[in-house]
Amino acid sequence: MRRRATDFRRPVRRRVPDVVWWALCSVVVLLFIYILSKGGQIESRSALSKRIYRNDRFKEALNISEEMLNPNSVTRQLNDQISLAKAFVVIAKESNNLQFAWELSAQIRNSQILLSNAATRRAPLTTRESEIAIRDLALLLYQAQQLHYDSATMIMRLKAKIQALEEQTSSVNEKSSKYGQIAAEEVPKSLYCLGVRLTTEWFGNLNLQKKFTEKMQAERKLRDNNLYHFCVFSDNIIATSVVVNSTAINSKNPDTVVFHLVTDEINYAAMKAWFAMNDFGGVTVEVQKFEDFSWLNASYVPVLKQLQDSEIQNYYFSGSGGDSRTPIKFRNPKYLSMLNHLRFYIPEVFPALKKVVFLDDDVVVQKDLSHLFSIDLNGNVNGAVETCMETFHRYHKYLNYSHPLIRAHFDPDACGWAFGMNVFDLEEWRKRNVTGIYHYWQEKNVDRTLWKLGTLPPGLLTFYGLTEPLDPTWHVLGFGYTNVDPQLIEKGAVLHFNGNSKPWLKIGIEKYKHLWEKYVGYSNPFLQQF
């Protein structure tokens, strides 16, 4: 059979479509490259235009800065004149030169208008348009210098003004302190009238006297050391009542609580009448007056002799004797009251007791205090809450360390503590003759060179090395002068209104008054009349 010859035309027909295909691919690639290159140019132009815009803004800001830094700039010159003119306006007003102050103020406004217009049109001021304003303001500044409104005079005047203001501030602070002290010492009319009415009731109601007398004669609890004994020395009937009432309400066993109250001759009858006609949940209450203590005489008690001294009385009541720099709080006449000093004679006041808790009359009890009597004082006499969390409650803030006797015996950085809630071990007190230590330091301070009269400084000396720190929650202070942490209020067993703002006064801190008032007992007929 004859073979067919090779057909060379078929391959030729296949090459034509391949060429077309490759041509189309090349066109597509070229088109894609062209599009990419165009997009890059557009993006670069956009970025370039943004950079140019930012550079224009930067150059604009730079031009303004250069204008203000240019020593030949009229804008800068006008700004400097305005600043100086403003200072002279103040001085002119202080010198009562109101006309000149008005002229300066008017020219300042004119100059500020020129600057505002220049800023609006974004073009610097020209010498021609600002010439008049600069000249007029320069004339006024020259006139101010002729009136001695120069810098040296201004500094001297300001110094004199500052000194005068400091003197005024000192005077106002002193008056404020005096008036605050007077307000704190003032007996509210309602409390005074209550005492008068209770005294009248006591002497006019024989049944009330008989009831109180029989109650005291039948009470063996007064000397039972298995009970919980508290003492308060006060002439404030309502305040003492709040201490007793709050302790009774928050006590787990009120029948085991005994209160020993000591007052003065004036309030003795009223105090007995109040505690005879009111029941405090089974709490036993004893009322005494310190005038009945035979041992309380000037031969035994050094402070009593000092309190009777006419110079001392003049120091506290007139405020004119002694060092005039002494703060008013140290001239409080309450320091003349023997009730304020009886805390150093507790073993003599209660000879049958072994342990007692001392409470000030400006406290509120909101926890059961029976656990205080089981605290181990580790051989110490006084259990108290320390107050040296801040530096101003250390010994050097209460005592005169320039005196060699103080410097030789006491560490200036020793921690202070608070009177107002104290646990006293009376057996240890008698054994260590603590009252004798108190007498020693009182006799050394007859000229008031060791400390100013009061009870805390001699207490710090008397119980130095004899004080056992208690947990701070037992005694929370500050309710009469500062803000107290709410968590401390909630945890506190005894809340102390130390300071001038007592809760029974109008100057008391309102947000803390309710802590005290809820124990007053306003349902009593004697209180409803006030």
Q: 268: closest CA among 284, 289, 243? A: 289
Rounded CA gap, 373 and 495, in Å? 19
Q: What is residue 528's predicted lDDT score, i.e. its pLDDT?
A: 65
Residue 54 has a pLDDT of 47
Residue 445 lies in a domain: yes
Residue ranges with strand state E in 207-290: 228-233, 257-263, 284-289
Distance of alpha carbon 108 from alpha carbon 117, whole angstroms = 14
Q: Give the per-residue pLDDT at 468.
A: 96
Q: Is this prediction's pTM over 0.85? A: no
Whole-angstrom distance, CA of residue 269 vs CA of residue 200 = 9
Which two structure tokens, joined as six digits, stand for 336?
A: 């003349």
Residue 328 near residue 174 (C-beta atoms within 8 A):
yes
Domain-embedded: residue 387? yes
Find, among 187, 351, 203, the residue nearest to 268 by Cα.
Answer: 203
Domain of residue 429: give its range. Answer: 189-320+328-518
> Which residue do the tokens 């509210």 mark?
188
Q: What is the pLDDT of residue 286?
A: 93
Total count of domains within the chain: 1
Please give the pLDDT value at position 508: 85
79 in a structural domain: no
Long-range contacts of 309-312 (CB under 8 A, 24+ apart): 312/336, 312/453
145 part of a folded domain: no
In a domain, 285, yes or no: yes
Instruction: Give the HSE-up count for residue 3: Cα atoms under 13 Å, Cβ half-sphere.
Output: 3
Which one-letter amino acid corresponds to residue 87? A
With H, G, I as helix, E, B as strand and everything else as coil, classify residue 497: coil
CATH number of the domain within which 471 lies: 3.90.550.10
**What is the reported pLDDT for 155?**
72
Query: Cα–Cα distance between 255 and 285 in angstroms, integer?
Result: 11
**Distance of alpha carbon 399 from alpha carbon 378, whole angstroms:** 27
Helices (H), 377-470: 404-409, 426-432, 434-444, 456-462
Of residues 266, 191, 180, 275, the one with CA closest to residue 504: 191
Q: Is residue 70 part of a domain?
A: no
pLDDT of residue 41: 54
> pLDDT 10s digit of each residue in the chain, 530 long?
444 444 444 444 444 566 666 666 666 666 666 666 655 555 455 544 444 444 444 344 435 566 666 766 788 888 888 888 888 888 888 778 888 889 889 989 988 888 888 878 777 778 888 888 888 888 888 888 777 666 666 677 777 778 878 877 877 776 666 656 555 556 666 666 888 888 998 898 888 888 777 777 667 889 999 999 999 999 999 999 999 999 999 999 999 999 999 999 999 999 999 999 888 988 999 999 999 999 998 888 888 777 666 666 565 555 544 454 555 454 555 666 789 899 999 999 999 999 999 999 999 999 999 999 999 999 999 999 999 875 568 898 889 999 999 999 999 989 999 999 999 999 999 999 999 999 999 999 888 889 877 789 999 999 999 999 999 999 999 998 888 999 999 999 999 999 888 998 888 889 999 999 999 988 777 776 55
**Token pair listed for 31:** 């088109």
Cα-Cα-Cα-Cα dihedral of 475, 480, 481, 482, to 10°?
50
Residue 3 has what pLDDT? 47
Beta strands in 234-361 (DSSP E): 257-263, 284-289, 355-359
Instruction: Report the pLDDT value the prediction gives residue 73, as an integer from 0 to 100.
Output: 79
Q: Are strands 382-384 and 421-425 parallel, antiparallel or unpaired?
A: antiparallel
Q: What is the DSSP string of 167-193?
A: HHHHHHHHHHHHHHHHHHHPPPHHHHH
- Residue 384 resides in a domain: yes
Torsion-angle region of 463 (φ positive above 0: left; ψ -120 to 50: alpha; else: beta): alpha
Asked, for residue 451, whether it belongs to a domain, the answer is yes
